[in-house]
Amino acid sequence: MKQNLPNQEPSRYAEEGYCVFYDHLSSDEMQPYQQTLDGMLARIRPGEKPQFMFEPHVGSRHWRTWLGLARNPKILDAVESVLGPNLVLILSHFIIKGTEDNMYVGWHQDQSYWLNGVQGDHLTTVWMPFNPATRQNGCMRILPKTNQPLLREVRAKEDDGVTITTKEVDVTGETVETAVDIELQPGSFSLHDAYVVHGSEPNVSDDLRKIYTMRYANADTTKFRPEKWRIPFFLVRGQAKNLTSYIDIRPPQSLPDQQPDCLLVKNLKNGDDEKIPRDY
C-alpha cells in the first residue's frame, strides 16, 4: 500500500490542512513530561479510562506542568507560523490507547466539538506523542485538503467503549486513499486545522499509545463565550481585545498560584464528572 508523505511546510498548512514539525523538543525537554504522564497513568483506578483525562492543564493535580508546556515557546512558534501572533489556549486532552481496548478514533472534524463556546475558522490542534506514534499503535491519519471551512454532516454516536468520537463524518473510499499517517517520535508534533478530517485505527502493539493534544485559537478572528465554557481561556502569546476574558499567562507572566476556579474543577471536587479519572 502506498504511504503518502506528510507535509512539513508551514506555508502549505492552509492548503493541506496540517503540518508536521520534527525534533522540536529534545529528549531532556520531553523527559519530565513523560514521567509526569506515566505517574498519572499509574494512578488510574479500575474502570477508569485514560482517554478521558480531559483538560489536564486545568483539572489535574499537575495542571501547572501542562499549562507550562502549553506556553512552551517552541510549540508556540510553530502555532504562530500557521495562526498568527495572537494566540489563546482553549483546550487540552490526553488520548491514550491501551493494548487491548480496541479504541479507535473515527473520521471527524474537531470544529464540531467546540461550537458552544468558541466560534471562528482559525483554530489548530497540536498533536504531540509522548512515546513513538506508529501505524501499528494507531497514529493519527489525516485526509489532506479536507479543511474547507465547512462543517460536514455528522453521524452521532453513543459511547460504545471503543471510541471517544461522538460526531463522526462519512468519507469516500477514494478520499481515504489519500490518508497520511502521522508517525512521530517524542519531541516532534503536528498541527492540524479545525476542519480537516482525521481519525485513527486501534492500537495493535504491545505498548500504550500516548498522545497529548493542545488546542489554540487566533485571538483576532475567534469569538469566545466564557459563560458557555467550563474552563478558562488562556492568553499565551501576543495581544487580544477584552483581556478580562482570559487568564494571561504570556511570558514573563507567572503561571497562576492557585488552580483556576471553574466548572470543571468544581465538578471534579464534587464528584459530578464520572468520566474523568479521579486522581489524574
Helices 27-42 and 63-70 cross at an angle (nearest 10°) of 150
**Cell reading at 149:** 471551512
Q: What is the reported pLDDT for 163? A: 72
In this predicted structure, the answer to whether residue 161 has a pLDDT above a threshold of 70 is no
Cα–Cα distance measured from residue 269 to residue 271, given in angstroms and rounded to the nearest whole number? 6
Residue 36: pLDDT band (50, 70, 90) is: very high
* Model confidence, pTM: 0.96
Q: What percent of the chain has pLDDT over 70?
A: 98
140-142 and 87-97 strand pairing: unpaired
In this predicted structure, the answer to whether residue 103 has a pLDDT above a threshold of 90 is no
Which CATH fold topology does 10-270 show? Answer: Jelly Rolls (2.60.120)
229: Cβ contacts below 8 Å, ≥ 6 apart: 90, 116, 117, 118
Please identify which residue in the block is written with the cell numbers 483554530.
123
Q: What is the reported pLDDT for 234? A: 98
**Cell reading at 152:** 460536514
> What confidence tens digit (pLDDT) does each residue in 246-273 have?
999 999 999 999 999 999 999 998 988 8
* Average pLDDT rounded to a whole number, residues 122-143: 98
Number of Cβ within a 10 Å radius of residue 178: 14
Ordered by start, the domain boundaries in the chain are 10-270
- Name the residue among 39, 5, 17 with its Cα closest to residue 130: 39
In this predicted structure, the answer to whether residue 162 has a pLDDT above a threshold of 70 is no
Q: What is the reported pLDDT for 157? A: 74
Please identify which residue in the block is written with the cell numbers 460526531.
167
* Average pLDDT rounded to a whole number, residues 111-139: 96
